[in-house]
Structures are given as structure tokens and as C-alpha cells.
Amino acid sequence: LVDTSYKRIKEVDGQVHAFLTLNEESAREEAKKLDAAADQTASLFGMPAGIKDNIVTKALRTTCASQFLDNFDDPLYNATVVDKLASQQAVTIGKLNMDEFAMGSSNENSSYTPTRNPWNTDYVPGGSSGGSAASVAAGEVLFSLGSDTGGSIRQPAAFCGVVGLKPTYGRVSRFGLVAFASSLDQIGPITRNVEDNARVLEVIAGIDPMDSTSANVDVPKYTEALTGDVKGLKIAVPKEYLAEGVAPEVKESVLQALKVYESLGATWEEVSLPHSKYAVATYYLLSSSEASANLARFDGVRYGVRSENADNMIDMFKKSRSEGFGEEVKRRIMLGTFALSSGYYDAYYKKAQKVRTLIKNDFDKIFEDYDVVIGPTTPTPAFKVGEKIDDPLTMYANDILTIPVNLAGVPGISLPCGFSEEGLPFGLQIIGKHFDESTVYRAAHAYE
């Protein structure tokens, strides 16, 4: 499997650009050991895995696709999720391309060569986990890990025709995930089908003493939830998720999917998420505020490439940050610093926190009567490379259907549900109650 993985990477990655760093020598060595092992029963035994490049891997370069971390060649430890994958004998094939520091929806913010959509390389793979989704779609690895702060697992999964799950906030340890917006970030699996996804989550989920926000909630056997039985399942379909702006082909496919659920004995009703129209603004205020604090550590001293042109210490911080960060990252830091500054804090940050609670309450209310919420993952299939990059607000608006899920902290999955006329895939999104990934998987598997 490991040989096949590298063979495939050599064939296609020159066009797809999913990988930033390969782990070839160690991975082949590891594979040899596994071949010779007496016990070959671990749940991810020998499975080639790709890891998003904002997840720290011991002695394996970790850049967050930023020039600032271009020289971070030798991290001293593994993220908890990486140790957990290794404990079940998955093999790390390499590190995957992304939007710089996970800020973006198209991979065009990678400071290296952006990843392309394997279905058609004129199109973006989505972002920020574009490399994670494209590598699975292109058959370069069997599964990958991505991170999702405002849609970054589900949106690229939708654009690349694969399955991506953002777990409940707190379900998976964030230790070793380079923080973007700590109250929203979650790591999750991207796979070719629902069963693989459930299998990987089983391995990476669970409380971790190294992450105080990881939750002490039992991890069920997710694979056992895949019964095919959705009789009596109560589905809520928010009218805002099929409103204007959603492409007719996407809407049509979601309605078809709901028919499939009906035929399997589930029922659905239209509901409303009245505050979801504020989600994009709320998200970009909160996530940028948190990012402005989290990215303060990149100063050219503790982390990062140090500017060579500085005269004194302050100058060194300024020049290192000016040279190291890309445009979008700077935009977020400035927005976040503004929103947190005294005098503006109440008007922006605090207000956004209040709206966040309203958005969460919308979901809580729906989940009193329904088991899952279903809608599209994105309003449209993948867009063309270059189409939105000069217009950040249009780019941000693309996240309208994924972001509410992060703000509410609930789990959401994207799985393939149709193709556009151009042959580009798009996704069905299934959202569940806090810590109820089992029902999300059961519903996804029954449709798949």
C-alpha cells in the first residue's frame, strides 16, 4: 500500500500539488517493519495517511503552508492525533498543502504552489484542507486528516467528491494543531467513504490530558452505527440552506437525497435557523480575533524565519512578520486586532460572541425535535482558480453553510451527492447533536 501510494504521488502530484513534504524514507522503513510484524490486526494497519501541514509531526517538516515556517524542519513532538494514528499502525506518507495558517477556502492562499482539484485542474479543490481532500480524491493516500475552523474539512471534501467530518468541538484533541481560532478548530478525517471515516475517528477521538478543551465523553464504536437503518429518523431541513444563492443543481440533488431518506423510512420537515444569516460576519470577527492572538507567537524568535534586514529588536519583529506572513493572514491579524482593541471590543467582539450564542441556540432548539439537520455543504460546486481570489468577501460568503456548525460546536459531515454539468462534485451536509457523531455516520452511511 505504501509503495502504491508513492507511485501514485509520483504520477499525479505534479498536477495536483497536494503534498508539501514527503516522508518517504521513514514510511518505507515503517512499512517493512509492519510487513514483518507477527501481529497485523491494528485497526489502521499499514494504511497510508496524509496529514494536513498545520498538524505537528515529530522530525517531519510542518509549515502551515507559510513562508514564515518554511524552516520548521524538525518539530520536537507529534500532535496527539498523529501518535494515535501511529498507535494503530497507520503510515504517515507526507504533509498536505493548505491555505496559509488554514485561512482560505480555495488553497490559493498557500504560499507554495496551490493544490488543484483532481477532477479538473482548472478548478480549486476548496480549502483550507484542499491538499487533504485532493490527496484522497486523487488516490494518493487512503485517508487524510484535515482541520475545520469554518468549513475547512467539509467544503474541500464537497469540492473533491470525498467524505469529510468535522467532529463535535472537544471530541478530538487539538494538542499539536497549530491554533487558528482555538474555540472553533477541530481535526477530522477525510476519506473515500463513510465507513473509513468512522474507523479513523474511532482512533483519533477521546479526551487528552494535553488539551484541556478535549471532552471527557465516551467514544463509541462508530463503525457499529453503520447499520443502514434510518427508519424513524427525524430530519430537519433549514429553509435558509435551500434559499437563493444555492445553485439549482445543488438544491435538486439535496431534494433527491431527501427522497432517498423517505424511501428508507425517515421523515423530513422544513425548519428555520433564523440567525444563520449573521454567521459569516460573526465567524470572521471571532476567528480573526482569536487568530490575531494565536499568531502573536510567530515573531522570528520563538518560531519563524527571522528577517535578516533588521536593525533592532522591534524592527526585527516587524520585518519578520511583514516578510513571513502572506496577504490573507495579515488581513485577518489586522481585522482581529481592530475588533479586540479597547473602544471597539464591545461593539464587535462582544457582540459577535452574543450572536454566536443565538446561532447555537437555533441548533439546540431544532435538536429538541429532530435527530439530524440536512442541507448542502456549499451553495455551488468548485469555482475556477483565480475566480474569487481578488474579492475576499465573495470568498468568505462561500462558507455560509458550513460556518454555523463551527459556531454551534456540533458535528457535521459532507458526503458526495451529485455532479455539476461540468463534472464537478458537490456535497450533502449532515449535522448532528453535540457528541452524536454516531447518528451522523448512520445517516450518511444509509444514503451513501
> What single DSSP character describes residue 172?
B
Q: Quick one: which of 152, 104, 124 has its CA closest to 331? A: 104
CB closer to ligand GLN, 78 vs 105: 105
* Full DSSP string of 380-448: SSPPBTTSSTT-HHHHHHTTTTTHHHHHHT--EEEEEEEE-TTS-EEEEEEE-STT-HHHHHHHHHHH-
Of 417, 396, 363, 400, nearest in space to 157 by CA? 417
User: How does strand 163-166 pair with strand 412-419?
Assistant: antiparallel
**Shortest spacing between CB 241 and ligand GLN, in angstroms:** 18
Distance CA 418, CA 425 (A): 6
Separation between Cα atoms, residue 120 and residue 272, nearest integer Å: 35
Q: In angstroms, rounded to a whole number, what is the distance separating the alpha carbons of residues 302 and 447?
A: 48
CA dihedral of residues 294, 299, 301, 304 (deg, nearest 10): 80
Instruction: Specify the residue, 206 or 336, whose C-beta has the smaller distance to ligand GLN.
Output: 336
- Comparing CB distances to ligand GLN, the nearer of 27 and 55 is 55
Q: Which is nearer to ligand GLN, 100 or 371 (CB)?
A: 100
Name the residue nearer to ligand GLN (CB basis): 44 or 157: 157
Q: Is 319 a catalytic residue?
A: no
* Known active-site residue 52: yes
> Can you give the C-alpha Rg of the chain in angstroms?
21
Least distance to ligand GLN from the beta carbon of 16, Å?
20
Cα separation, 148 vs 413, whole angstroms: 11
Check if the beta carbon of residue 218 is closer than 8 Å to that of residue 246. Answer: no
Minimum distance from residue 287 beta carbon to ligand GLN (Å): 6
Nearer to ligand GLN, 237 or 430 (CB): 430
* Shortest Å, Cβ 442 to ligand GLN: 25
Closer CB to ligand GLN, 197 or 223, in the complex: 197
Task: Specify whether 111 is catalytic.
Answer: no
For 211: left if phi > 0, alpha if psi spans -120 to 50, otherwise beta; the answer is: beta
Chain centroid to CA 331:
21
Nearest residue to the partner ligand GLN, using Cβ:
152
Q: Which of 106, 110, 111, 128 is catalytic?
A: 128
**Would you tell me which residues interact with ligand GLN (CB under 6 A)?**
102-105, 128, 147-152, 180, 287, 399
Helix, strand counts (H, E) of the chain: 14, 11
What's the min distance (Å) between Cβ of 103 and ligand GLN?
Answer: 5
Closest separation between CB of residue 128 and ligand GLN, Å? 4
CA dist., res. 291 & res. 293, Å (int): 5
- As measured in angstroms, the least distance from the Cβ of 143 to ligand GLN is 19
Catalytic residue (one of 144, 152, 276, 292): 152
- The residues that are catalytic are 52, 128, 152
